[in-house]
Amino acid sequence: MGMLHRAACSICHGGRVVPQEFDVVCLGGGVAGEAIAAGLQSSGMTLAVVERELVGGECPYWGCVPSKTLLRSGETLTEADRARVLAASRVEWSVDFPKVSTRVLWMARNLDDSRPAAAMEATGARLFRGEGKLTDLRTVAVGNEQLMARRAVVIANGSTAAVPAIPGLDSVEYWTNRQAAIPSELPVSLAILGGGAIGLELGQAFARLGCRVHIIEAGPTFLGHEEPEAGGALRPHLEADGIMLTIGDPCVAVEQPMMGPSRERSSVVVHLKSGATVRADRLLVATGRRPNAEV
């Protein structure tokens, strides 16, 4: 057993749990947690990593990997369209979305982190599954376990979708990047709140698969955190994919009325400050990220 893996087990004395001691306790088994495990592998220090979801973090399962797979599927169809102009008299195809969805989920490892978890433990780190909570500066509680750090607790909890306080949004069925990156359905139309990297990337992916996409950005330009020219340079390419774009007109309310005797939910209605409305089968909230600061 490697040096990193040797640590005392929790012991109960008179109803009191005695903490397991490690040199370092890391809250979060994402990219930072994996890097710490690799970095401490030959250091002689013991490490505990606490992960409440999947080892590897957001990117492999709900972020970069599935979104790029969606983009690649749409890109293939776009290239097939270009063949009509460049090389073929007839090119016929139809979108097989179950095939797209299956491949996306496969690329996201079917949300199975057994391999990255095994790789982390192979460094000698001890992996604890569950919600980690700081009880003091050096102690982390995970279920009935108490983990004490002799040297440091590392907070590497990652981030989650930032959902704005828009009237009506809490009563609407909406997507964040997690539902959009590994979708089970291809909506006929999609409204996207947010013209940052996530909104534009997923918007283009769905548009190229045949979905009618409308991206709504409250600020004066897309990609507001990038160079000023970036949004303007991208706009004609997004419009060439058939994407509707609204800039500088923030969403002020959202509703999804019930329809018919069965009281089924209808399309989502997005109300803009200008008085305009946008209707779509699905709403994607892509208004940024916030740190998982609850420790």
Q: Confirm whether 277 is domain-assigned.
A: yes
Query: Domain holding 49: CATH number?
Result: 3.50.50.60
pLDDT at 293 over 80: yes
Q: Confirm whether 244 is domain-assigned.
A: yes
Q: Which residue has the tokens 């890097």?
A: 35
Q: Confirm whether 257 is domain-assigned.
A: yes
Q: Confirm whether 167 is domain-assigned.
A: yes
DSSP 21-73: EEEEEEE--SHHHHHHHHHHTTTS--EEEEESS-TT-HHHHHSHHHHHHHHHH
In this prediction, residue 257 has a pLDDT band, given cuts at 50, 70 and 90, of confident
Q: Are residues 135 and 172 in the same domain?
A: no
The reported pLDDT for the residue numbered 5 is 42
Domain boundary among 157, 175, 209: 157
Q: Are residues 30 and 144 in the same domain?
A: yes
Report d(CA 190, CA 263) in Å as an integer: 22
Q: Are residues 221 and 124 in the same domain?
A: no
Q: What is the mean pLDDT of residues 249-265?
A: 80
Q: Are residues 128 and 274 in the same domain?
A: no
Q: Are residues 139 and 277 in the same domain?
A: no
- Cβ-in-10-Å burial (0-12, 13-18, 19+) of 75 comes to middle
Q: Which residues does 126 contact at the CB level (< 8 Å), separation at least 6? A: 4, 5, 7, 22, 46, 47, 48, 49
The reported pLDDT for the residue numbered 157 is 94
Report d(CA 186, CA 280) in Å as an integer: 12
Nearest Cα residue to 104 out of 199, 206, 196, 175? 206
Q: Are residues 44 and 132 in the same domain?
A: yes
What confidence tens digit (pLDDT) does each residue in 49-82 have? 999 999 999 999 999 999 999 999 999 998 888 8
Q: Which residue has the tokens 């790029």?
A: 68
Split into its structural domains, the chain has a count of: 2
Q: Confirm whether 66 is domain-assigned.
A: no
Structure-token pair, residue 179:
């539902």
End-to-end CA distance of the chain: 31
Q: Where are the alpha helices (DSSP H) in 141-182?
A: 177-181
Q: Are residues 144 and 262 in the same domain?
A: no
Range of the domain at 208: 161-291
Q: Confirm whether 94 is domain-assigned.
A: no
- Chain CA centroid to CA 26, Å: 21
Domain boundary among 130, 157, 184: 157
